Amino acid sequence: MSLDLLTYMFIGGSFALYIGIAIWARAGSTTEFYVAGGGVPPVANGMATAADWMSAASFISLAGIVSFIGRDGAAYLMGWTGGYVLLAMLLAPYLRKFGKFTVPDFVGDRYYSKTARYIAVICTIVISFTYVAGQMRGVGIVFSRYLHVDINTGVIVGMVIVFFYAVLGGMKGITYTQVAQYCVLIMAFMVPAFFLSMQVTGHFLPQIGLGATLEDGRSVLVTLNELSSELGFDQYTQGNKTTIDMFFMTAALMCGTAGLPHVIVRFFTVPRVKDARISAGWALIFIAILYTTVPAVAGFGRVNLIETINGPDNAGVEYTQMPSWFKNWESSGLIAWADKNGDGKVQYQAGAAFDGGKPAFIDSRGDYGERLTENASSSANEVYVDRDIMVLANPEIANLPDWVIALVAAGAVAAALSTAAGLLLVISTSISHDLMKKSINPNITDKQELTYARLAAIVAIIIAGYFGINPPGFVAQVVALAFGLAASSVFPAIVLGIFSTRMNTQGAVSGMLVGLGSTMAYIIYFKFMGGTPDQWLFGISPEGFGTVGMLLNFVVAMLVASMTPEPPEEIQSIIEDIRIPRGAAQAHAH
Amino acid sequence: MSSQPDSARAYWRENLRIIFTYMVIWFAVSYGCGILFVDALDQIQFFGFPLGFWFAQQGAIYVFIGLIWAYVFSMNRLDEKYDVHE
């Protein structure tokens, strides 16, 4: 059976499953639409949270990043998992006891202020849109590479599928499709990893395989270090970023994770406070299965990539002898080769092969049939490899069977769709619940609110699809912004709201404004206005500045709160109430 | 906060103490072993990994899981003790 047919079968089969679940789990009320009726078992919620959280970035890009930056990739690995410890201990149980639908609900009620609610709504919408555009793009890339359809067609198919289960089923439909999507994506990630680990090291478990020794008696990591220094790259197990930057980046990603609205809202769906803690535990187990495998996939992938491109004697392989994956990714524009020394062989080493980093293709072919570019650099490196192809190309580089490649394609689509659906739900809830019901027109009925939620979901899908088809050039940059915003505004506001009875409107609002303002200014200056790394404050990169914004938020909020009147009696009793687990089951009833 | 009964306050204080203990471990493992002291730990070999590298890319994640489940069990016990469970 051909690879194309297999891929159609895997992706088509998984889509049929998702749609089936969506029809089975249609939502009838706002409670079902927003929080699945508050009745999701913790294991299922943990699985759904894991699928919600692991996006196209985790599935497709993370191993590529680690593969290319080595030890520094730990900022992402620890940052995107350590946030769950914060969630389990500092946020989830109390928010579940509070028992409303959204993050702005909590911020607005706890700080008895419309301004606070509006700030939370804006953060929620900006963070979620930032994220969702990238997901749609991920779906498009997979479709175009594996099914040979146009990227735009891929995005539209993805939109229709998400439309089906997000608009029909709301949180209830999304939760159960995410459980299915988790199963698809984790199989798709683990199966090739097992194969790779067996093939490279003889160990079945990739987590152990990465530390194993190869046939020549040297370990995988030592081999990688030697290959890297031979080719002029940094040592794989050595860091390149400064300690302070690693520290701040990891903290920003951790606190940002804990402050992401689409992750927090998942903990509103379980029956009891106890279940919120338990489902955070399950979520992290399900996430860790993938995250602890990533370093191994990254390491094996790197060895395979270098050895395939440069050949066993490290002298380069003739372009005409290159395996088909090399040429396929070249046609997708994610690999490029310029024969700088005119020997017809592909040679890969450190240095930017093309001026400005990415290759600029022109519309003609060279002597060996390669795509020609107009910006080959003076560096001796002849090859450009896009980081994002590592996971997708790994099975092909390692010559794994076709069904594994098809499975990986279905997994990448599952990862992108599950996250997109979760985000779209958060956006539509923010609009129908936080803006319509709570701010503009409090008199609408439950049924009308549900209609607004569905309409908002449709509009959000169309906007997300538009961004998927016409990706703004700044998607990669604004991911830093999403985590920065979450870490510097949402996270401190919620933590202070739970752990300080003294925190009042004035404190929270000024804290959020200072945190948001400083973080946005820093990121915009360095990402869009041409700031250079030598101007970084204390050497902290824009990705890590969310931590500084968060600290400023805490300090300003506490200072202002200490100079202004304490919150009213009834707010203080709300805080005392959310600290005690008993009574959460009834909370959704009102 | 005179309205709050003593037992509720004692429950909250114990909860804070548990959180604090686990957060110290959380910080030590990720920021300590994985970032601040990573180069020193890298001198030690651990199942074929330099130890600091292992903590940064795998070990910290295992400890995070352990911490959440430890918190789940500690809190279940505490909820029973103060009779605030559901």
**b/e sequence A505-528, b meaning 16+ C-beta within 10 Å:** bbbbbbbbbbbbebbbebbeebbe
In the stretch 33-52 of chain B, residues with CB closer than 8 A to chain A read 34-36, 38, 42, 46-50
Amino acid identity, residue A553?
A: N
| Residue among A31, A559, A567 at smallest CA distance from A269 | A31
- Contact partners, residue A588, CB within 8 Å, separation at least 6: A31, A35, A37, A38, A99
Of A71, A74, A582, the CB nearest to B85: A582
HEC string for B47-61: CCEEHHHHHHHHHHH
* C-beta atoms of A220 and B48 within 8 A: yes
Q: Which residues of A touch B3 (CB under 8 A)?
A: 572-573, 576
Of the residues A76, A237, A569, the best mutation for testing chain B's interface (the one with the most B CB atoms within 10 Å of its CB) is A237
Q: Is residue B1 part of a domain?
A: no
**b/e sequence A29-54, b meaning 16+ C-beta within 10 Å:** ebbbbbbbbbebebbbbbbbbbbbbb
**Rounded average pLDDT over A148-171:** 79
The confidence band for A201, taking pLDDT boundaries of 50, 70 and 90, is: confident
Amino acid identity, residue A562?
A: S
Write down the ipTM of this complex: 0.94
| Inter-residue contact A234 to A467 (CB < 8 Å) | no
* A334 vs A285, more confident: A285
Q: By the CB < 8 Å criterion, does B8 face chain A? A: yes
Q: Which residues of A touch B79 (CB under 8 A)?
A: 274, 581
Q: Is residue B24 part of a domain?
A: yes
In order, the DSSP letters of A113-152 are -HHHHHHHHHHHHHHHHHHHHHHHHHHHHHHHHHS---HH
* A127 vs B18, more confident: B18
Q: Give tens-digit pLDDT for A75-109.
A: 999 999 999 999 999 999 999 999 888 899 899 99
**Which residues constitute the domain of residue B43?**
6-81
Q: Is residue B55 part of a domain?
A: yes
Residue A564 has pLDDT above 50, yes or no: yes
**Measured CA distances, B83 to A147, A271, A572 (Å):** 58, 18, 22
**Rounded average pLDDT over B1-23:** 85
Q: By the CB < 8 Å criterion, does B57 face chain A? A: yes
For residues A447 and A279, give the distance between their C-alpha atoms in angstroms, rounded to a whole number: 30
| Inter-residue contact A507 to A496 (CB < 8 Å) | yes
* C-beta atoms of B68 and A85 within 8 A: yes
The confidence band for A588, taking pLDDT boundaries of 50, 70 and 90, is: low
What pLDDT is stored for residue A475 in this prediction? Answer: 55
Q: Which residues of B touch A292 (CB under 8 A)?
A: 58, 61-62
Residue A502 has pLDDT above 70, yes or no: yes
HEC string for A172-211: HHHHHHHHHHHHHHHHHHHHHHHHHHHHHHCCCCHHHHCC
All domains of chain A, ordered by start, with CATH?
Answer: 3-300+401-479 (1.10.4160), 313-387 (no CATH)
Q: Give tens-digit pLDDT for A280-296.
A: 999 999 999 999 999 99
Name the domain count of chain B.
1
Q: By the CB < 8 Å criterion, does B84 face chain A? A: yes
* C-beta atoms of A250 and B31 within 8 A: yes
| Residue among A417, A11, A411 at smallest CA distance from A193 | A411
What pLDDT is stored for residue B28 in this prediction? Answer: 96
What pLDDT is stored for residue A174 in this prediction? Answer: 87
Q: Is residue B20 part of a domain?
A: yes
* C-beta atoms of A274 and B86 within 8 A: yes
**Rounded average pLDDT over A299-312:** 88
pTM of the model: 0.91
In the stretch 61-80 of chain B, residues with CB closer than 8 A to chain A read 61-62, 64-65, 67-69, 71-72, 75-76, 79
The confidence band for A253, taking pLDDT boundaries of 50, 70 and 90, is: very high
* C-beta atoms of A221 and B30 within 8 A: no
Q: Cα-flanking dihedrals φ and ψ of residue A434, to 5°?
A: -75, -35
- Contact partners, residue A581, CB within 8 Å, separation at least 6: A93, A97, A272, A273, A274, B79, B84, B85, B86
Q: Is residue B18 part of a domain?
A: yes
| Inter-residue contact A83 to A53 (CB < 8 Å) | no
Of the residues A54, A66, A85, the best mutation for testing chain B's interface (the one with the most B CB atoms within 10 Å of its CB) is A85
Residue A137 has pLDDT above 70, yes or no: yes
Q: Which residues of B touch A85 (CB under 8 A)?
A: 22-23, 26, 64, 67-68
Q: Which residues of B touch A90 (CB under 8 A)?
A: 19
Q: Is residue B57 part of a domain?
A: yes
Amino acid identity, residue A126?
A: V
Distance from CA of B14 to the nearest CA of A (A): 12
**Rounded average pLDDT over A564-568:** 93
- Residue A255: which H helix or E strand, with range? helix A243-258
Query: Which of A1-15, A390-404, B71-85 is predicted most confidently?
Result: B71-85
| Inter-residue contact A265 to A167 (CB < 8 Å) | no
**Measured CA distances, A302 to A257, A305, A479, B50 (Å):** 28, 5, 25, 18
What pLDDT is stored for residue A224 in this prediction? Answer: 86
Residue A587 has pLDDT above 70, yes or no: no
Distance from CA of B57 to the nearest CA of A (A): 5
* C-beta atoms of B68 and A66 within 8 A: no
Look over chain B and give the mean of its residue pLDDT values, rounded to a whole number: 91
Of the residues A53, A69, A78, the best mutation for testing chain B's interface (the one with the most B CB atoms within 10 Å of its CB) is A78
For residues B64 and A82, give the distance between their C-alpha atoms in angstroms, rounded to a whole number: 6
What pLDDT is stored for residue A476 in this prediction? Answer: 56
Report residue A84 CA to chain centroid gap: 14
Q: Is residue B86 part of a domain?
A: no
Residue A590 has pLDDT above 50, yes or no: no
* C-beta atoms of B48 and A221 within 8 A: yes
**Rounded average pLDDT over A12-41:** 83
What pLDDT is stored for residue B2 in this prediction? Answer: 44
Q: Which residues of A touch B22 (CB under 8 A)?
A: 85, 89
**Rounded average pLDDT over A303-319:** 86
